[in-house]
């Protein structure tokens, strides 16, 4: 008769699992509260103390830490191992069902004392999980109630037992890490960073063919950016970098919007009454750079959207959904990737970048913080209502552009859109000029957004030459007075946000 040992804090699904096991002829061994819950339901249970011949000790701190239990778990399918068990009248244990004391939940509650936290450090449960997982060639281990329904059907499969063993070791590793972090932080030190990531897909190569690359995600069943590739070639390393930039940018808008990204930085952004007009205007911002780009939209992509994309060579399209007719139309573009992404898809780990000998970690920049004091009009001329709306649009767009970022934007009654973008240069004046070159005649009457302050009047003077009418920038330069004076001289409206948005 196969034997199962059950010892759980979280009783979710426990009785149902035990009933299935008993109905299949299993013998149930359980500890403490687990045994009581099963007996209350009328199930026959062997208490752990009957198995060990010892009572629970130290107010339940010692229950399953006994050779009768661990020998039953660790015994292999060897005559010598089984003979040693038989000499002591012990039996093998074939299934372990354990979840741990809720240490993480306890320490997250305000006012939790060290004594309370220490009592929630599970010892016996961790030992059971590790012993059973180590012996997965024979023993099945369950640490997650979500896996209970599948156990009887799949436990005879080595692959299933191996997967459950991996899951158990993953759980004990995270549990020990939480304990370590808690104790370290109590000593006044920062918690160590542990990034658990799992392979999602292998990539053909990295940024260049001689660089190997993989995509990793936060869970074993992660998908690219949490979404689903609906059609097209496999995603590449550079595709994913561009898609990340495009998706972050388009999520800044609540109106229907489209963002065109090339080499991780937007070259066109538009927010309009409908997505077809948005993508038309976004491409028009810089049609040369749009070749070989990725395009993201925060609404469903339909046939009208694709009509505006036309024959432009695009690497990827990303959206929360694709109309079936649009997908059907994309079938002839076998290389174009269509990625469906959830709108509520926050960054899993913030942002991390490697440097020689270390790792830089920061929170994601998700726009102006709630603590920001608000915009301040610093020029003699106040911006018009249309200018304010366009400045707000441009301020969101500039946050996705590489520093030194400058965005020129215009609007009509139903649309707001970039006409020129400059970024990634060592000085801000060059970025103003690049944005102006992209915009051409459309620069006249546009507004300008800058991700950081203008340290000299020359950037404003360059914008004046282009015909810019209003500027939004963080402010904070020692020469703000000179910059404001230049804006007033040009008849420009200028707004300070008090917040900068560098993107290196």
Instruction: Report the C-alpha gap between 189 and 202 in whole angstroms.
Output: 37
> Nearest 5°: phi and psi at 428?
-75, -30
DSSP structural state of residue 190: P
Q: Name the packing angle between helices 32-40 and 14-23 (round to 10°).
A: 70
What are the tokens at 407? Answer: 């965005």
| Cross-strand partners of 305 | none
| Cross-strand partners of 361 | 352
Query: Under 8 Å CB-to-CB from 136, ≥6 apart: which residues?
Result: 158, 161, 162, 164, 165
Instruction: Report the C-alpha gap between 306 and 329 in whole angstroms.
Output: 8
Catalytic residue among 11, 70, 134, 329: 134
Beta-carbon count within 10 A of 24 CB:
9
Confirm if 244 and 225 have CB atoms less than 8 A apart. yes
What are the tokens at 469? Answer: 């009418």
Residue 467 zone, left/alpha/beta (φ > 0; ψ -120 to 50; rest): left
Confirm if 270 and 249 have CB atoms less than 8 A apart. no
Instruction: Report the C-alpha gap between 475 and 495 in whole angstroms.
Output: 8
331 flagged as catalytic:
no
Instruction: Report the C-alpha gap between 481 and 493 in whole angstroms.
Output: 14
134 flagged as catalytic:
yes
Instruction: Report the C-alpha gap between 125 and 121 in whole angstroms.
Output: 10
Instruction: For the chain, give percent helix, strand, coil, nearest 5.
Output: 40, 20, 40
Beta-carbon count within 10 A of 499 CB:
20
Catalytic residue among 11, 70, 154, 263: 263
Instruction: Report the C-alpha gap between 308 and 317 in whole angstroms.
Output: 13
Edge-to-edge strand ranges of the sheet holding 140-142:
46-47, 27-30, 3-8, 95-99, 140-142
Residues annotated as part of the active site:
134, 263
């Amino acid at each position: 008769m196969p034997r199962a040992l059950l010892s759980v804090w979280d009783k979710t699904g426990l009785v149902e699992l035990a009933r299935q096991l008993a109905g299949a002829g299993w013998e149930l061994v359980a500890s403490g509260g687990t045994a009581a819950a099963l007996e209350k339901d009328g199930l026959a249970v062997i208490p752990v103390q009957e198995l060990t011949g010892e009572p629970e000790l130290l107010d339940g701190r010692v229950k399953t830490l006994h050779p009768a239990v661990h020998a039953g778990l660790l015994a292999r399918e060897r005559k010598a191992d089984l003979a040693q068990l038989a000499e002591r009248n012990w039996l093998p244990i074939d299934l372990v069902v354990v979840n741990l004391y809720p240490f993480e939940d306890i320490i997250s509650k305000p006012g939790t004392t060290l004594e309370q936290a220490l009592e929630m450090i599970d010892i016996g449960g961790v030992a059971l999980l590790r012993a059973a997982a180590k012996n997965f060639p024979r023993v099945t281990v369950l640490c997650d109630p979500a896996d209970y329904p599948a156990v009887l059907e799949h436990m005879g499969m080595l692959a299933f037992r191996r997967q459950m063993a991996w899951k158990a070791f993953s759980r004990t590793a995270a549990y020990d890490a939480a304990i370590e972090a808690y104790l370290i932080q109590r000593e006044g030190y920062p918690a160590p960073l542990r990034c658990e990531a799992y392979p999602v897909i292998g990539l053909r190569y990295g940024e260049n063919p001689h660089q190997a690359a993989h995509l990793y995600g936060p869970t074993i069943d992660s998908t690219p950016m949490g979404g689903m590739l609906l059609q097209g070639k496999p995603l590449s390393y550079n595709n994913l970098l561009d898609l990340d930039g495009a998706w972050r940018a388009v999520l800044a808008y609540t109106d229907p919007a489209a963002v065109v990204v090339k080499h991780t930085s937007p070259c066109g952004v538009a927010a309009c009454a409908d997505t077809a007009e948005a993508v038309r205007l976004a491409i028009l911002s810089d049609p040369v750079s749009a070749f070989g780009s990725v395009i993201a939209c925060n609404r469903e992509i339909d046939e009208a959207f694709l009509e505006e994309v036309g024959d432009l060579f695009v690497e990827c399209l990303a959206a929360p959904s694709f109309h079936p007719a649009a997908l059907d139309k994309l079938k002839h573009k076998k290389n174009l990737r269509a990625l469906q992404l959830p709108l509520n898809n926050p960054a899993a780990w913030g942002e991390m970048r490697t440097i020689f000998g270390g790792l830089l970690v920061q929170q994601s920049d998700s726009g102006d913080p709630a603590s920001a004091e608000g915009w301040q009009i610093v020029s003699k001329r106040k911006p018009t209502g249309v200018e304010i709306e366009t400045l707000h649009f441009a301020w969101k767009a500039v946050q996705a552009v590489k520093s030194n970022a400058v965005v020129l934007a215009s609007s009509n009654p139903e649309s707001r859109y970039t006409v020129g973008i400059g970024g990634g240069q060592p000085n801000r004046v060059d970025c103003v000029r690049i944005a102006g070159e992209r915009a051409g005649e459309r620069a006249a009457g546009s507004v300008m957004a800058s991700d950081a302050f203008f340290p000299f009047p020359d950037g404003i003077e360059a914008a004046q030459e282009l015909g810019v009418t209003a500027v939004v920038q963080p402010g904070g330069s020692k020469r703000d007075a000179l910059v404001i004076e230049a804006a007033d001289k040009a008849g420009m409206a200028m707004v300070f946000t008090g917040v900068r948005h560098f993107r290196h």
